[in-house]
Chains A and B, each alone.
Chain A
Amino acid sequence: MTTRKFFSSPWRTLGFVALLLVTFIWLVPLLTALVTAFRSNDDIMLQGGPFSLPRGIVLTNFQTAWERGGLSRYLPNSFIITLPSLLLTLFLSSLSAYALARFRFRGNRLIFFLYVGGTLLPFQVLMLPVFRLTDALGLYDTFAGLIAIHTAFQLGFCTFLLRNYMRTVPGEIMEAARIDGCGEFRIWWQIMMPLTMPAIAALATLEFTWIFNDYLWAIVLLRNDALKPVTAGLATLQGQYIMDWTVIVAGALLATVPTIFVFLFLQRYFIEGLTLGATKG
């Protein structure tokens, strides 16, 4: 529908304006963050707080956050940790989800509840047991240790979610493929996975955000500065007594850039998406 045609209906125009208003209110905290990142701390304090009118624009916060937060050093680390964890957990959970969604076998429900159960525990209580396990396996202070826990920890939620999405795919397609002589693995790879792409894309966006933004696991399982992810680096901007607000906010905004990119890149898969209409029914 062209824009003009869209606005030809008064109801729709009204609805659009309402949506715009709600969106704007929704964004106020973020706009505050944006404005704060361009002010100096002295400016904020002298003018009477974060919601005062700025005296001038300051560009140094981003630079300071970049340097003091060590972003150039830590950004690659974040990717080294996040990408393998993301891909491994998506891969493994789609395997599990397929088995759980499409096969009737002994232990299906038990295993399903096991996966769900794992998401119910807060990770803080797992922190020390996992630390001990990691240390015992000789993986303390390594990327591998961190990737392992991220992969394993997200398996529960991802399996649960993908299983549910996979259940919406009609069974006839797979039956047809089996009759044609397709092996299960091929069915999974060539039929189920493409059909589940919107869910996987949505999940990948969420998981990327969560794993990328994690830092407590990094704090506990890493000792060496050189391996830290960006979030741990940014956390050091919080001092013992002083919070350098403007720099912290600037740093946090910088850290969102990768996740926003991922969102924009993947959203076409789960928003505009592959329409499944043709293959269904």
Chain B
Amino acid sequence: MERRQVLSKSAPYLFLIVPLIIYLIWVVGPMFYSFYLSMTKWDGLSAPVFIGLRNYQKLFKDPVFFVSLKNNLKWVVSFITIPVAAGLGLAMALNRTIPGEKFFKASFYAPMVLSFVVIGLIWSWMYNPAHGLLNQLLRMLRLDSLAIGWLSEKNVVMWAIIVVATWRQVGYVMVLYLAGLQGVDPGLLDASKVDGCSGWQTFRHVIFPLLAPVTVIVVVISIIDSLRAFDLVSVMTRGGPYNSSSVLANFMYIEAFNNYKMGYGAAISVIQFLISVVFIFIYLWRVLQTEMEY
């Protein structure tokens, strides 16, 4: 009995030891090294030179930084509303036996499966002002004035890219909610029907609260993914036209890998990291406080 008690107490640590060590070496270590790098001037090839907070000073005077920040925020707002609602809606709609359900589920998940290069390529074609599908349709509907350069107009380009990202994200959220719905006890649903609740009321008062842990995950990843967004911007516009679609990750990439300013790039990443930390940790802290004890 004593041995088991001792084992029980140390059980969590035993479970954590191997993963944690790997994680510390391969992720946390390099992470702290990047923090250090953000205070250096480094071209990625010779030795880094320590310069204190100069990179940060430069960053806060850099207009591209602020444009990127605004664009990331646009992305966050879009991601925590549309894909979440649409993904949840689809999961609810498809979580029952309807004809061809596998087809529907696979179709909405499909955008996740294609590489960013191809997605970017095809959507660039769709947005092509002269020959693209979108503008051809608009012209057919006599809406010629709307047939603009979706990726070349600086006020529109960021939203055009966000549309593509959202299109892709919906299937992802749907899959997460579908998995979550598996954990909802059908007995509870029956009980609420017996009590005379309508479909909407059942959803609002029974299902949605039960999906809370999944919603937490979905919100967190939406925020993270929108702050970390890189591939679509890189493939579709590379941050152009002249930085109007720049996002933090793309900005960092150009500075670090194109301009050989790794230190400055690291500083951008650190700021990006800190912003994410603030958003996420505050949210999660509140969630943890209110989590039901099982």
Contact B256–A124 (Cβ < 8 Å): yes
Interface string of B101-131 (1 = CB under 8 A from A): 0111111111111110111011101101011
List the one stretch of B52-60, B77-85, B237-245, B280-288 in contact with chain A. Answer: B280-288
Q: Check B183 for interface membership: any CB of A closer than 8 A.
A: yes
Task: Number of B interface residues at 8 Å Cβ cutoff, please give it.
Answer: 101
Contact of B22 among A152, A165, A249 (CB under 8 A): A152
Instruction: Give every chain B residue within 8 A of A129 (Cβ-Cβ).
Output: 29-30, 33-34, 37
Q: Contacts A152-B27, A260-B113 known; A245 to B252 CB distance under 8 Å?
A: no
Contact B217–A164 (Cβ < 8 Å): yes
Contact B294–A171 (Cβ < 8 Å): yes
- Report A270 CB to chain B, min CB distance, Å: 4
- Report A25 CB to chain B, min CB distance, Å: 10
Q: Check A213 for interface membership: any CB of B closer than 8 A.
A: yes
Q: Check A155 for interface membership: any CB of B closer than 8 A.
A: yes
Instruction: Give every chain B residue within 8 A of A58 (Cβ-Cβ).
Output: none
List the one stretch of B10-18, B139-147, B148-156 in contact with chain A. Answer: B10-18
Instruction: Give every chain A residue within 8 A of B214 (Cβ-Cβ).
Output: 164-165
Main secondary structure of the interface of B (DSSP, over half): helix
With the chains together, A209 CA to B168 CA distance in Å?
A: 13
Q: Check B136 for interface membership: any CB of A closer than 8 A.
A: yes
Q: Contacts A98-B15, A168-B213, A256-B114 known; A118 to B28 CB distance under 8 Å?
A: yes
Instruction: Give every chain B residue within 8 A of A83 (Cβ-Cβ).
Output: none
- Report B288 CB to chain A, min CB distance, Å: 7
Interface string of B179-222 (1 = CB under 8 A from A): 11011011100000000000000000000001001101100110
- By beta carbon, the residue of chain A nearest B170 is A26
Q: Check A151 for interface membership: any CB of B closer than 8 A.
A: yes
Contact B182–A274 (Cβ < 8 Å): yes
Q: Check A56 for interface membership: any CB of B closer than 8 A.
A: no
Instruction: Give every chain B residue within 8 A of A102 (Cβ-Cβ).
Output: 294
Interface residues of B in 8-50 (CB under 8 A from A): 8, 11-16, 18-20, 22-23, 25-31, 33-34, 37, 44
Contact A29–B122 (Cβ < 8 Å): yes
Q: Check B69 for interface membership: any CB of A closer than 8 A.
A: no
Q: Check B74 for interface membership: any CB of A closer than 8 A.
A: no
Residue among A36, A122, A152 with the most chain B CB within 10 A? Answer: A122
Task: Number of A interface residues at 8 Å Cβ cutoff, please give it.
Answer: 107
- By beta carbon, the residue of chain A nearest B265 is A125
Instruction: Give every chain A residue within 8 A of B220 (Cβ-Cβ).
Output: 116, 160
A-B contact pairs, 10 of them (CB 8 A): A27-B107, A51-B125, A99-B12, A114-B28, A129-B37, A171-B294, A188-B15, A209-B113, A245-B121, A274-B182
User: Can you name 13 extra interface pairs (CB under 8 A) apart from A202-B175, A276-B182?
Assistant: A29-B122, A30-B111, A111-B20, A124-B230, A152-B22, A167-B291, A206-B175, A231-B115, A245-B121, A255-B115, A256-B114, A264-B102, A271-B179
Interface residues of B (CB under 8 A from A): 4, 7-8, 11-16, 18-20, 22-23, 25-31, 33-34, 37, 44, 93, 95, 97-99, 102-115, 117-119, 121-123, 125-126, 128, 130-133, 136, 167, 172, 175-176, 178-180, 182-183, 185-187, 210, 213-214, 216-217, 220-221, 224, 227-228, 230, 248-249, 252-253, 256-257, 262, 265-266, 269, 272-273, 276-277, 280-281, 284, 288, 291, 294
Interface residues of A (CB under 8 A from B): 1, 3, 6, 15-16, 19, 23, 26-30, 32-33, 36, 48-52, 92-93, 95-96, 98-100, 102-103, 105, 108-109, 111, 113-122, 124-126, 128-130, 133, 148-149, 151-153, 155-157, 159-161, 164-165, 167-171, 178, 181, 183-184, 188, 198-199, 201-202, 205-206, 209, 213, 231, 234-235, 238, 243, 245, 248-249, 252-253, 255-256, 259-260, 263-264, 267, 270-271, 273-277, 280-281
